[in-house]
Amino acid sequence: MAGYVIRRLALVAVVLVAVSFLVFAITAILPANVAYLILGPFAPPEQVKALELRLGLNDPVLVQYWRWASRFITGDFGSSMLMNRPIAPILSEAIQRSLVLTLTSFVLIAIIGVALGVAAALRHNRPLDHAVSVATYLGIAVPEFFWAIVVILVFASYLGWLPASGYEPLSAGFWGWAQHLIAPTITLVFAHLAHVSRLTRSSMIEVLQSPYVMAARAKGLPERVVVVRHALRNAMLPTITVLALDIGRLMGGIVVIETVFGYPGLGRLLVFSIQQRDIPMLQASIVVVAAVYALANLGADLLYAWLNPKIRYGRSIA
Amino acid sequence: MPAQLKAGLVIVGVIAILGLLAPWIAPHPWDTISIRTRFQPPNATYWFGTDEYGRDVLSRLLMGTRLSLAMGVGATLVSVAIGVPLGLMAGYFRGKVDEILMRAADVLMAIPAIMLGLLVLAVTPPALWKTALAVGFVYIPPIARVTRSVTLGLANEDFVQAARARAESTGYVLFREILPNAWPPLIVEASLRVTYAILLGSALSFLGLGAQPPSSDWGLMIAEARAFVDRAPWIALAPGFAMCLLVIGINLVGDGLRERLDPRLKGRVEKV
C-alpha cells in the first residue's frame, strides 16, 4: 500500500508540472501582447519594447517558464496585471470562499444523494423510486446556469427570500453571509445530485438481493439494522468513488455558478482573468485548481483501495 | 428495442427535424429587431413570447436547435476522430506508446473540462466553431481511454492473431480487425458524450466564449435573457426547457444503446 501511495503521489506531481507547462505554453501564445496590455493601445513603441525587455517577454518560452515555475514553487505567484496586487492573497481569499461553497454543497450532495438513493432502492419500482429517478434525471439534463436562473427566479424574484447575487463577508454578520451562500448551494446540489443518488440506488438494489442480506433478514434482524449496517456499508463503495469525482465536477461547476451569482470565488476569478487577459492570475489559478482536482481523485482512489482490499493495484489504475 | 431507446429516438428525431426545417417553419424572422414588439409574453402571435429586441423566441429557439445539434455532434466527431485512433494505438502497442498517451490524457483530465475549454478559447476571439473544436479537444482523453480499454481486451483475440499471422499491416489490424469489433461500447460512449458536449458548449457560450450576438445559440439566449429574468422569464425558460428535452432525449438513446449493445457497461461510473 505504501508503495502504491508513493507512486500515485509522484504521478500527481508529474501531472501538475505538466499542467503548469501546458497552461504556460497556451498563455504564451495569447495574441494580446502583455506589455501592450499594461501600457494601453496608444503607448509609444519604444516604451512597449522597454517594458517587454524588463518583463523578459522576449526570452524563449522555456526560459520564461523556468523563471515563473521556480518562483511559483516558493509561493511567489507574482502580481495580478489588472489589480496590480500580489496574486497570492487574492487567490487565497477566493479559494477560501469557493471552499465554503463547494464543501457545503459536497456535504449536502453526499447526505441527500445517499438518502434519496437508499429511499428509492427500498421502494424499487414504486412511485417514490420513479419520482426520484425523474427528478435526478432533470438535474443532470439541464446546464447549471439554467438552474441558477430558475433558482434566482423562484427565490429572489418571486419569493423575495434571497438576494439574487453578490457576497457579504462573514465579518459583516452571519445571516447576510449565509443568505448569499444559499442560492448557489441549492443550484450546485441539485445539478450534481443525480450521480450519487442513481449509483447508490442501483448498488443498493443489487446488494439488497444478495444472499447475505437475505441471511441477515432470515436471522430476524430489524430492517433498520439490515439496511444500514449490512446493505448500505457495501453499497457505499462505488458511491464513494463518485463522491470524489463530484469534487472535480464541483470545481468545474463553480466556474459558471459563481459567475451567475456574482460570488467572488475561484471560479469567477478564473473567468475574470480570462476575460481581462490577466495572464499571471490565470496561470496561478489553473494550477491551483488542477492540484485540488488531482488530489481529490487521488483521495478517492486511495479511499477506495483502503475500503476494498480486494482491489489489485495494477499499473493500469494509475 | 428497449423502450427508452425508442422514446429517446422519437424525442431526438422530432427535435432534429424541427431544427433542420427551422428556416421554413419558423413563424417569424429570427433576427429582425422591432421595438414595438419587445417583451411580449407568450400569446397567439408569438407562442413563446418575444425578447428584449422584440424578436420571436420560438423562431430563435428553432434556429438555435441547429446550433446545439451541430455543437453536440461536431464536437463529438472531433473527439472520436482523434481519440479513437490514439486509443487504438495505446491499447495495441502497449509499452511506451501507451504510457506516453495515457500520461498525456492524465494531464488533460487533471483540469476540469470547462476550465480546459476556457483556457483553449482564451487564445482566440470567440466563435461557435472554435468552441465546438475546443469542446471536442476536451473530450479526446475520455474517448481515447475507453477505446484503449476495449482494444486491450481485443488485441489478444484469435482473429487479431490470425491477421497478424497473415502479415497484415498494422493499419489493417487496427482499423479493419479491431475497430469494427470495438464499435458497440464506443458508440454508447460517443452518444453520451454528445450530451456533455452540448452542455459544455452552451456553458461556454453562456460565459461569452462561444456563439456571439445576434446568434440564437441556446446558451447565449439564456445569457442574454439573464438581465430580464424578472420581467420576462419566458426568454430564459424556453431555451432552458428545450435544452433539457434534447439532453434527456440523447441520454435515453445512449442508455438504451448501452442496454442493447453492451449490458456489462451498465451502472459504470464515468468521469466528466
Closest CA relative to residue A146, chosen from B199, B42, B117, B72: B199
Q: What is the ipTM of this complex?
A: 0.79
pLDDT tens for B158-176 read 898 899 889 888 889 898 8
CA–CA distance, A175 with A167 (Å, rounded to integer): 11
CA–CA distance, A162 with A173 (Å, rounded to integer): 15
CA of A161: how far to CAs of A152, A174, A261, in Å? 10, 16, 15
List of chain A residues whose C-beta atoms are within 8 Å of the C-beta of residue B237: 150
pLDDT tens for A258-305 read 988 888 999 999 888 888 778 888 888 888 888 888 888 788 777 777
CA–CA distance, B195 with A141 (Å, rounded to integer): 8
Cβ atoms A289, B111 nearer than 8 A: yes
Please name the residue that has the C-alpha cell 430489524: A222
Which triple of cell numbers denotes residue A97?
470562499
Which triple of cell numbers denotes residue B231?
420581467
Query: Is the predicted pLDDT of residue A42 greater than 80, yes or no?
Result: no
CA of A173: how far to CAs of A27, A93, A167, A168, A170, in Å? 40, 18, 12, 8, 5
CA–CA distance, B90 with B88 (Å, rounded to integer): 6
Every domain of chain B and the residues it spans? 3-14+76-263
Cβ atoms B154, B92 nearer than 8 A: no
Dihedrals φ, ψ of A86, to 5°?
-60, 145
Residue B271's pLDDT is 36
Residue B272's pLDDT is 35
Higher pLDDT residue, B3 or A57? B3
Closest CA relative to residue B62, chosen from B110, B28, B106, B109: B28
List of chain A residues whose C-beta atoms are within 8 Å of the C-beta of residue B118: 255, 270-271, 274
Which triple of cell numbers denotes residue A269?
476569478
pLDDT band at residue A64 under the 50/70/90 scheme? confident
Most confident of A33-47, A148-162, A231-245, B126-140: B126-140
Proportion of chain B above pLDDT 70, given as a percent: 96
pLDDT tens for A65-82 read 888 888 787 777 777 776
For residue B175, give every residue at least 6 positions away whose Cβ sits within 8 Å of its Cβ, in sequence order, or none.
B88
CA–CA distance, A93 with A183 (Å, rounded to integer): 20
List of chain A residues whose C-beta atoms are within 8 Å of the C-beta of residue B204: none
Q: What is the CATH number of domain B3-14+76-263?
A: 1.10.3720.10
User: What is the count of residue pairs from A and B with beta carbons less than 8 Å apart?
Assistant: 135
Query: Is the predicted pLDDT of residue B17 greater than 80, yes or no?
Result: yes
Residue B155's pLDDT is 86
Higher pLDDT residue, A55 or A278? A278
Closest CA relative to residue B143, chosen from B174, B114, B109: B109
Q: Is B107 on the interface with A (CB under 8 A)?
A: yes
CA–CA distance, A34 with B220 (Å, rounded to integer): 29
pLDDT tens for B54-95 read 888 888 999 989 999 999 999 999 999 999 999 999 999 888
CA of B165: how far to CAs of B89, B160, B161, B162, B172, in Å? 19, 9, 6, 5, 13
Which triple of cell numbers denotes residue B177?
480487425
CB contact under 8 A, B206 and A286: no
Higher pLDDT residue, B238 or A77? B238
CB contact under 8 A, B251 and A137: yes
Which triple of cell numbers denotes residue B247?
439532453
CA of B176: how far to CAs of A13, A193, A201, B168, B230, in Å? 39, 42, 40, 10, 57
pLDDT band at residue A3 under the 50/70/90 scheme? confident
Rounded to two decimals, the pTM is 0.84
